[in-house]
Amino acid sequence: MIARAHHPVNQGGVRSEPALPVVPGLDLALSVDNVARFGGDPRRYVWALTAALAADPGLAPSRDAMLAVTSVAAWRAGVLGIRADALTWLPQLRPDVAGAVLGLPADALRAFGSGQAVDRFYWPLRPVESTQPFARLGGFVGLGGPWEFPPTEPVTEGPGRWTVLVGTARWRLEADLFGHLLGPVGPAVPPSPGAHERITAQLVVRPTSFLADVVPWRSA
Amino acid sequence: MTNRWSAVSKAPTLPVGSPPATGLTAADLFKPAEEAVTTLDEKLRRAYFWLVNKAVISPFYDVEFGSDTAVRFPLGDAGAYLTLPKEPAYSSNVLVPLLAFAVGGRCLLIGGPGRGKTTLAVLMGVLGGAPPADVRRHVQQGQPQLTVSDLVGIPLPRDLVAAGSLAEITIAWKSWLTGRVKIIDEYNRIPTKTQSALLTMVAEGYVESHDQMRKTAPEHGVQSWYFTANDDGGGGTFPVIQALKDRMDVTVQAFGFNSRFLDELVTRVEAGDRPEDNLPAELVFTTTEQVAMVDAIRALPVPDGVRRRLEFFVGQFEFVQHGGRRFEYRTKDVVATAGLDVGHVIDANSGADLQVDLGAQTINGISVRTLQTLVLYAKAVAWFRGNEEVTLEDVRAMVPFALRGKLLPNGTHPRFDTVADKELTSDQASWLTDLFDASGQQFVALELDQDDPVGQLLAEFNCGLDGLAALDVSRRLTTIEARIATMSGVGKIYGRDFDDLVALKYLYQRYSNYLHWLEGGRR
C-alpha cells in the first residue's frame, strides 16, 4: 500500500458530493474557491456547510451565524490559517450545529473547545494513550507529494511548527488537527502561535520514508 | 477579436507564496482573490511566453537554471547529455533578444537562412509599439551595394545645386533612424564604409552626412538594435569591422526547425498570417515602461559573493607569462598589439600546467565593455526571473551570450585536440559555460569563498586612510609584502594571480604614498 499525506481525523472521507446550499447575501461559491486557495479541501467544506444547515435550517438568514459556520467549516476542511478565528466563533454556534460541522457528538464540544485552546491536536474521540500519528505530511514527488528526498533533521519551532531538511533545502511544516501547510523556509518568520498553546506533538522522520509523521509528544 | 494568437499567459507567471498559516478570518472567505498587479517584469515574462509559445516555434530550452538538481541522460556514444532541469528553463533565441529589448541593447542573431532571425527582430520592433508594417519597412537589408546614403538618407538635390556651403544642404533623413528598435539584416553583407557609418550610430548615437548630423538615439526612451548574420566566423560578403562586432552586447544562435512542430507551420501556411501582425496589445511596451524597465534592471544589486566569483573568473584571462618583461606588461593585449601570435606565446610557458591555467584557453582577456555587458544582462535575466538580486546562476546563464565572439578560444591549446573536447571548437557557448564552471570549481577548491586575503586588504583600504597612523600604515605595508612573498614562493604563476598581484602593488603604492605624505608633514 502506498502511504500518502493525510490527517487521520478525516478518515472515512467525504464520499458524497453534496450540492452547495444557497444562502441569500453570501457568495458561498466564492468561499469554496477561497477554501481551496487557502489550502483546504473544498469538498469537505461544502459537506460541513450542508451538515450545519441540515442541523439548523434557520441559520441561513443570519449573516453572523453563517460567518461562524463558514469559519468553523473552513477550519474543519483544513484551512490552517483560519484556526484562531474559528475557535473564536465556535462557542457562538449551537452545539448540534457545531457538532455537525466538526463531525463530533454535541456533548463532546465543550471538551473539544477547551482542549484545542492548549493543544492544537486535541480530538475528544481519540484514545488518550493512542500513539498513532495526528498527521502524516509531505510525500514523494512521484506520488503527488512535494519532496524529492526523504525529510531529515527535524527541528521544532513551536506548537505545530517544525522545519526539516529535504535534500539541500530546509522546509517549514505547520500543522494542526485538520490541516497543514508546507513550504521552503523563506526570509519571513511566521508569527508565534497562541500564548496558551503547548507543544503536544513531535515530528518523526525516517530514512526510509518520504513522509514526516506528527505524533504525540514523548519526552526522551 | 479572439484568435489563436490572442491568448497571453495568465499572471502571475511565477509561483505565488503559500497561503497564510495564521490570521485568516471568515470575512476572508468572501473576498475575491486579488488581481495580480502586472508589474513590468511580469509583463516581460508574459511577452516571453507569448513569443515562445505562440509566435516563434522554438522548443529549445537551453538556458537552464538549477543545474544541481537537473536529471541528466547520456545519449549516444559521443558524450552527449540531455539535461532536464527542475527549474524553468528558457529558449535562448527568444530570451536573449528580449533581454536586449529590455535593457536597450544590441543583439546579434546568427544562423542559417530561414531560421526566424528577422521575424524575431521584427517582433521586438512591434513589442516596442511600432506598427508591424513600419517595422518590416524599416528593416535595413544588408547588401554589397548599400551606400551610406542608402542607409541614412540623401541630400535634397535642390540644395546640392543651390547651396553655397555644406551647412545649407538639407538631408532627407530616413525615418528608421529614430525608431526605438532598429534592425539591420545580414550586416556582414554591408560594405566596410557603410559599416563605419553604422558603427557611429551604434556607438555614438548619431549619424553624419554632408556635414549634417542627426541623433539616432532617442532623447527620452530606449533604443535596441538587432543585427542578423548567417556567419559568425568572419565570412560574409564583407568582413565585419572589429569595432562594430565589439558593439554587439550579446550573440545568440537561431535554432533550426523541430519537425515535430510541423502542424503549427501547416496552420500558419493555411491561415496566411504572421505573428507580428497579431501581437496582443497588452504586451506592447510604452516608452515610459521601457525607461522604467531599464532603471529597474540597473538597480538590481549584485551581492558581494557573486561579484567576487565574477572577479575571479574575469581575472584568469589577461595574463600571459611570456607576454613582456615587466610584470604589468605580461598580458595578451601586449602580445596581440605587437602583432605576435598569442597562442604561441602561451605555448612557450612551460612552467604552468596548461590544463589548470584557464587563461591558457583564450587568446585574449575580457574587455571592460564586455564585462559591463555581462553584468547588465545578468541583472536583466535575474530581474526577468523575479529575483531580488543577481545570483551566480544568472551570471552563468548570460556568459555564453555576452562573451561569445569577445573571449576567443586559443586553438592551439591541447584541450581542443582531445577527443572529449574537440566539439568545443565549434560550440563556443558550451565552451564558455565550461570555462565559467571550471573557474567556479577552482574558486571553491582554493577556498577563496572562506579566505580571501587580497580581498580583505582591499576592504581594509576602502575604509579610508584618514587618521591612519604611520605605524598602522607600516604594518599594512608589511602585510602586503608578506602576501606577495607567499605568492612568489609558490614558484608558478597563473592568470588568477595576476590581478591580485597588480592590486597588491596598487595598495602598496597607495599606502607608501600616504606614508611619504605623513612623514613629509612631520618634517
The answer to whether B301 and B378 are in contact (CB under 8 A) is: no
Helix intervals (H) in B338-452: 342-347, 368-384, 392-402, 428-445
Q: Give A-chain residues touching B27 at CB under 8 angstroms.
A: 67
**Residue A3 maps to a domain:** no
ipTM score of the complex?
0.90
Q: Does A148 touch chain B (CB under 8 A)?
A: yes
- List of residues 6+ apart from B215 with CB closer than 8 A: B205, B206
Q: Give A-chain residues touching B20 at CB under 8 angstroms.
A: 38, 81
**Residue A82 maps to a domain:** yes
pLDDT band, residue A201 (cuts 50/70/90): very high
pLDDT band, residue B499 (cuts 50/70/90): very high
Could B21 and A182 be called an inter-chain contact, meaning their C-beta atoms sit closer than 8 Å?
A: no
Which of A26, A34, A37 is the best mutation test for B, with the most CBs of B within 10 A? A34
Residue of chain A whose alpha carbon sits nearest to that of B15: A183
Phi, psi of B103 (to 5 degrees): -95, -5
Taking residue A9's Cβ as centre, other Cβ atoms within 10 Å add up to 18
Query: Looking at the structure, do residues A85 and A179 belong to the same domain, yes or no?
Result: no
Segment (H or E) for B56: none
Partner-chain residue, chosen from A33, A37, A191, that has the shortest CB–CB distance to B22 = A191
pLDDT of the residue at A92 = 92
pLDDT of the residue at B33 = 81
Could A191 and B27 be called an inter-chain contact, meaning their C-beta atoms sit closer than 8 Å?
A: no
**Which of 3.40.1710, 1.10.8, 1.10.1060, 1.10.490 is the CATH number of B304-445?**
1.10.8
Query: Looking at the structure, do residues A67 and A110 belong to the same domain, yes or no?
Result: yes
Give me the residue label for grid cell 469559519.
Answer: A71
- List of residues 6+ apart from A43 with CB closer than 8 A: A14, A17
The residue out of A75, A91, A118 marking a domain boundary is A118
**Residue A107 maps to a domain:** yes
Which residues form the domain of A171? 135-216
* Digit-coded pLDDT (tens) for B314-338: 999 999 988 889 999 999 999 999 9
pLDDT of the residue at B2 = 62
Query: Looking at the structure, do residues A38 and A114 belong to the same domain, yes or no?
Result: yes
Q: Give A-chain residues touching B32 at CB under 8 angstroms.
A: 30
pLDDT of the residue at A191 = 65
Q: Give B-chain residues touching A89 at CB under 8 angstroms.
A: 26
* Digit-coded pLDDT (tens) for B166-197: 888 899 999 999 899 999 999 999 999 999 99
pLDDT band, residue A8 (cuts 50/70/90): very high
pLDDT band, residue A15 (cuts 50/70/90): low
Residue of chain A whose alpha carbon sits nearest to that of B19: A38
* Digit-coded pLDDT (tens) for A106-148: 999 999 999 999 999 999 999 988 999 999 999 998 888 999 8
Query: Looking at the structure, do residues A91 and A158 belong to the same domain, yes or no?
Result: no
Query: Looking at the structure, do residues A70 and A12 belong to the same domain, yes or no?
Result: yes
Partner-chain residue, chosen from A33, A85, A186, that has the shortest CB–CB distance to B26 = A85
pLDDT of the residue at B151 = 92
Q: Domain locations in chain B?
A: 92-297, 304-445, 453-522
Residue of chain A whose alpha carbon sits nearest to that of B26: A71
pLDDT band, residue A194 (cuts 50/70/90): low
Query: Looking at the structure, do residues A155 and A80 belong to the same domain, yes or no?
Result: no
pLDDT of the residue at A186 = 76
pLDDT at residue B92 is higher than 80: yes
Partner-chain residue, chosen from A31, A183, A191, that has the shortest CB–CB distance to B30 = A31
CA atoms in the 13 A half-sphere facing the CB of A212? 31
Average pLDDT over residues B356-380: 94
Higher pLDDT, A1 or A76: A76
Could A190 and B17 be called an inter-chain contact, meaning their C-beta atoms sit closer than 8 Å?
A: no
pLDDT of the residue at B358 = 92
Burial A49-84 (b: 16+ CB within 10 A, else e): bbbbbebbeebbeeeebbbbbbbbbbbbbbbbbbbe
pLDDT of the residue at B420 = 75
Q: How many CB pairs under 8 A join A and B?
A: 73
pLDDT at residue B392 is higher than 90: yes
Chain A, 32-61: which have a CB under 8 Å from a chain B CB? 33-35, 37-39
**Cis (ω within 30 of 0) for the bond into A133?**
no
Could A34 and B22 be called an inter-chain contact, meaning their C-beta atoms sit closer than 8 Å?
A: no
pLDDT band, residue A193 (cuts 50/70/90): low
Q: Does B166 touch chain A (CB under 8 A)?
A: no
pLDDT at residue B429 is higher than 60: yes
pLDDT band, residue B422 (cuts 50/70/90): confident
pLDDT of the residue at A13 = 64
Burial B324-348 (b: 16+ CB within 10 A, else e): eeeeeebbbebbbeeeeebbebbbe
Average pLDDT over residues A164-184: 93
Question: What is d(CA B170, CA B184) in angstroms, rounded to the nearest whole number?
Answer: 25
Could B19 and A27 be called an inter-chain contact, meaning their C-beta atoms sit closer than 8 Å?
A: no
Q: Does A83 touch chain B (CB under 8 A)?
A: yes
Residue of chain A whose alpha carbon sits nearest to that of B86: A148
Could B29 and A81 be called an inter-chain contact, meaning their C-beta atoms sit closer than 8 Å?
A: no
Average pLDDT over residues B227-244: 82
Could A191 and B68 be called an inter-chain contact, meaning their C-beta atoms sit closer than 8 Å?
A: no
pLDDT band, residue B223 (cuts 50/70/90): very high
Phi, psi of A126 (to 5 degrees): -85, 130
Which of B16, B29, B86, B387 is the best mutation test for A, with the most CBs of A within 10 A? B29
pLDDT at residue B235 is higher than 70: no
Range in A215-219, B232-236, B466-470, B474-478 with the lowest mean pLDDT: B232-236
Taking residue A43's Cβ as centre, other Cβ atoms within 10 Å add up to 18
Domain B92-297 part of CATH 2.30.130.10:
no
Average pLDDT over residues B417-441: 88
Amino acid at B267: T
pLDDT at residue B1 is higher than 60: no
Helix (H), strand (E) counts: chain A: 6, 7
Q: Does B23 touch chain A (CB under 8 A)?
A: yes
CA angle centred on B246, ends B245 and B251, rounded to 5°: 70
With left for phi above 0 and alpha for psi between -120 and 50, is residue A144 left, alpha or beta? left
Average pLDDT over residues B48-57: 90
pLDDT of the residue at B508 = 97
Pairing state between β A180-184 and A169-175: antiparallel
Partner-chain residue, chosen from A74, A80, A182, that has the shortest CB–CB distance to B29 = A74
Query: Looking at the structure, do residues A20 and A60 belong to the same domain, yes or no?
Result: yes
The answer to whether A93 and A49 are in contact (CB under 8 A) is: no
CA distance A68 to chain B (A): 7
Could A182 and B18 be called an inter-chain contact, meaning their C-beta atoms sit closer than 8 Å?
A: yes
Q: Does B71 touch chain A (CB under 8 A)?
A: no
Q: Give B-chain residues touching A33 at CB under 8 angstroms.
A: 33
Question: What is d(CA B187, CA B206) in angstroms, rounded to the nearest whole number?
Answer: 18
Q: Does B76 touch chain A (CB under 8 A)?
A: no
Average pLDDT over residues A38-61: 91
Q: Does A163 touch chain B (CB under 8 A)?
A: no
Q: Give B-chain residues touching A67 at CB under 8 angstroms.
A: 26-27
pLDDT at residue B87 is higher than 60: yes
Pairing state between β B181-185 and B224-229: parallel
Could B24 and A89 be called an inter-chain contact, meaning their C-beta atoms sit closer than 8 Å?
A: no
pLDDT of the residue at B36 = 65
SS3 B493: coil
pLDDT of the residue at A97 = 94
Query: Which of these, B99, B94, B87, B132, lies nearest to B115 by C-alpha position?
Result: B94
Number of compact structural domains in chain A: 2
Which of A82, A168, A172 is the best mutation test for B, with the most CBs of B within 10 A? A82
CA distance B86 to chain A (A): 11
pLDDT band, residue A20 (cuts 50/70/90): confident
Q: Does A92 touch chain B (CB under 8 A)?
A: no
pLDDT at residue B356 is higher than 60: yes
Chain A, 9-28: which have a CB under 8 Å from a chain B CB? 26-27
Average pLDDT over residues A96-112: 93
Query: Looking at the structure, do residues A102 and A44 belong to the same domain, yes or no?
Result: yes
